[in-house]
């Protein structure tokens, strides 16, 4: 069939004009102004619509240049052009190792297979709301558009968005957004009159921590138990139902439409040389302003805490920043001038992990927090390999012994030895990174552990160091 010129696609253009007018007159949500202190140091790309549109109305999304990037890609009708734009933008995967997104898409597009899939992973394994679920809840259409562009770029007809089933509001809005997209011909056959046929299935997941691993997520979507499997083969060659599969984080996909629209150069101009663009976080803890934020890469942590977060709340003092949740790590305020980028964080032995930034108040006990995170990891271990399944539970037991005031200095050696074992012997990245929080705490706050052990005293007064049974 002949491809209609998509930039002039009548439906899309008419609708955009119509709804732009409507949005202006109705003004459902106030546009956030740059003048608010929470916004001043932010640079919103992935989160550009969060808080400023009604997430459940496709009209509002279209009015804000929604699906323009998709239309542009389809108009060029050249997947390599889309891949080139992505590569030029320097966009990297927003969790873990930060693999270049353009290269990842290219690997999948070049893999041999008949029925490849694209998957959006919105599982972060935190309990309650997370960066991904909040993003989807606030702007489901950008993820749908990003995934559709991915499908076009790698040549896929099947998309999945995996979202924790217990996130009711995000789930409801996403499902409705998928339905609306279908109704407007933005999903289904011959999208916007092009040759692209693509549809999305929402996969209600268990929300387990292990679903952050791509192979575990594949198992889960296939209807099996979510456990990682060894690589190779890599999902880009042998993924969902043994076909090439592209898996992207929701935040990465949300950044794709703006990147495509500006041709990639604007995005790569933001941030540092190796970490381009912006990074979103879920800012929480003892700061005055909490919520979803997005800053240019290279922003110092201190800026985020003091300017965006507005500094400590209720006159308390911030002693450390916890970044990345259970498998992330602690950064003491003395190192708060560290900039947010893949390399600097890696040098400190932490990673962006789940994308949370927690300000830790002075009256919090680091050892107790480490115990808490280790408990989460131990409970969330998929159970496949012994270092993670049993090793993390042993570490939890040792940490409990310490917080109960029953630890010995040898326990710290045991913890370090077990950490090294778990790091070198676990199957997946989640197991390997499970000692990260503990190790970063030991690196920066060893004296606090020692106080629990030698003085039988919790400096913050949180732990009951008089023994478990007393």
Partner 1 sequence: MKMVPITVNGRKLEAAEGELLIHVVRAHGISLPTLCHDDRLAPYGGCRLCVVEQVDGRGGLIPACSTPVKLGMNINTESEAVTEARRRQLQLLVLNHHMECPVCVRRSDCRLQDLIFTYGIPDDNLPFEPTSFAPQERSPVICHDPDKCIICGKCTRLCEEVQGVSAISLVSRGVGTHIATFQNQPLNCEFCGQCVNTCPVAALTARPYASNVPIWLREEVVTTCSFCSCGCQIRAQTYGGVPQTIDSAEDSRPNSGKLCAKGWLGWDLLANPDRLTKPLVRRNGALVETDWEDAFSTIAKALSRRPAQSLIGLSSARFSCEDAYLLDRFMRDFGASGLGLGPEPGLRALQTGVGPVFGRPRSTALLSDLRTADLVVVLRADPTASHPLVKTELVQRLIQDSKPVVMSCAFPTGLADHATKTLVPAPGREADLACGLAHELHALGVLKEATQLARAPRWFESIAAYEPAVTAAATGLSVPAIRDLARRIADSRHTVFVLPTARGIAGDEAITGKTVACLVAALGTRADLLVLPERCNLQGHLDLEFGFGFGTAQQPTNAMRQTLSDDGNFLYLLGQDPVAGWPRRLGARSFFERADFIVVQDAFLTETARLADVVLPATILCERKGTVVGADGVARELKKVSTAPPGALDDGQVIRRFAECAGISLPTDDEVRKEVAHRLERARTIHADVRLSAVPRPSKESPTLALTLNASPQLFHSGNVTQRSHMLSQLGPRTSLHISPDEAAERGITDGDAVRVSSNGNDVLMRACLDDAQRRGVVRMPWNTRNDGAAALIDAEDEVIEVKLRRSS
Residue 417 and residue 442: Cα distance in Å, rounded?
13
Give, for 285, the enclosing helix (H) or strand (E). strand 278-285
Least separation in angstroms between residue 331's CB and partner 1 is: 26
Residue recorded with tokens 């896929």: 156
Asked if 105 and 152 count as a contact pair (C-beta separation under 8 A), the reply is: no
Q: Which C-beta is closer to partner 1: that of 37 or that of 467?
A: 467
Least separation in angstroms between residue 324's CB and partner 1 is: 21
Query: 27: exposed, middle or buried (C-beta count within 10 Å: 0-12, 13-18, 19+)?
Result: exposed
Q: Which C-beta is closer to partner 1: that of 194 or that of 426?
A: 426
End-to-end CA distance of the chain: 79
Radius of gyration of the chain (CA): 23
Could you tell me how many residues make up the chain?
470
Least separation in angstroms between residue 257's CB and partner 1 is: 36
Q: Which C-beta is closer to partner 1: that of 306 or that of 327?
A: 327
Q: Which C-beta is closer to partner 1: that of 7 or that of 409?
A: 409
| Sheet architecture: strand order including 291-296 | 291-296, 278-285, 356-361, 318-323, 329-332
Q: Residue 469 CA to chain centroid, in angstroms?
A: 40
What is the contact surface with partner 1 in residues (CB under 8 A)?
208, 225, 227, 229-230, 232, 242, 378-387, 389-394, 397-398, 401, 414, 417-418, 421, 424-427
Least separation in angstroms between residue 227's CB and partner 1 is: 8
Residue 93 and residue 245: Cα distance in Å, rounded?
15
Least separation in angstroms between residue 171's CB and partner 1 is: 22
Phi, psi of 177 (to 5 degrees): -65, -40
Q: Which C-beta is closer to partner 1: that of 129 or that of 390?
A: 390
Q: Which C-beta is closer to partner 1: that of 140 or that of 387?
A: 387
Least separation in angstroms between residue 386's CB and partner 1 is: 4
């Amino acid at each position: 069939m002949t491809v209609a010129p998509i930039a002039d696609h009548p439906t899309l253009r008419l609708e955009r004009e119509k709804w732009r007018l409507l949005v202006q007159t109705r003004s459902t949500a106030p546009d956030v102004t740059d003048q608010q202190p929470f916004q001043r140091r932010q640079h919103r790309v992935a989160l550009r619509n969060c808080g400023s549109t009604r997430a459940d109305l496709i009209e509002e999304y279209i009015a804000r240049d929604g699906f323009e990037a998709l239309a542009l890609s389809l108009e060029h009708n050249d997947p390599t052009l889309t891949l080139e734009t992505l590569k030029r933008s320097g966009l990297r995967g927003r969790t873990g190792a930060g693999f270049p997104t353009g290269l990842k898409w290219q690997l999948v597009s070049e893999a041999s297979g008949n029925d490849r899939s694209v998957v959006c992973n919105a599982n972060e394994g935190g309990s309650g709301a997370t960066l991904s679920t909040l993003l989807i809840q606030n702007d489901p259409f950008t993820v749908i558009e990003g995934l559709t562009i991915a499908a076009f770029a790698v040549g896929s007809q099947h998309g999945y968005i995996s979202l924790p089933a217990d996130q009711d509001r995000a789930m409801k809005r996403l499902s409705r957004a998928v339905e609306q997209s279908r109704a407007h011909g933005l999903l289904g056959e011959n999208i916007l009159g092009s040759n692209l046929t693509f549809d999305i299935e929402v996969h209600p997941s268990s929300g387990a921590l292990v679903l952050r691993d791509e192979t575990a997520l594949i198992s889960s979507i296939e209807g099996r138990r979510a456990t990682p499997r060894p690589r190779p083969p890599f999902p880009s060659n042998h993924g969902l139902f043994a076909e090439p599969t592209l898996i992207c984080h929701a935040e990465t996909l949300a950044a794709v439409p703006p990147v495509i629209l500006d041709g990639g150069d604007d995005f790569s101009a933001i941030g540092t040389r190796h970490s381009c663009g912006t990074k979103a976080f879920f800012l929480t803890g003892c700061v005055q302003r909490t919520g979803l934020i997005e800053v240019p890469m290279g922003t110092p942590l201190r800026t985020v805490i003091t300017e965006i977060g507005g500094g400590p709340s209720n006159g308390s003092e911030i002693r450390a920043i916890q970044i990345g949740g259970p498998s992330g790590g602690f950064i003491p305020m003395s190192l708060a001038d560290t900039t947010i980028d893949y390399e600097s964080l890696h040098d400190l032995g932490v990673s962006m992990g789940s994308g949370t930034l927690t300000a830790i108040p002075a009256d919090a006990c680091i050892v107790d927090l480490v115990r808490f995170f280790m408990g989460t990891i131990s409970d969330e271990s998929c159970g496949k390999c012994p270092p993670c399944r049993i090793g993390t539970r042993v570490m939890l037991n040792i940490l409990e012994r310490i917080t109960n005031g029953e630890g010995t200095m040898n326990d710290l050696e045991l913890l370090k030895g077990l950490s090294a074992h778990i790091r070198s012997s676990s199957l997946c990245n989640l197991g390997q990174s499970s000692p990260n929080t503990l190790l970063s705490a030991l690196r920066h706050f060893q004296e606090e552990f020692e106080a629990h052990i030698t003085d039988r005293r919790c400096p913050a007064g949180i732990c009951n160091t008089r023994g478990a049974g007393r």
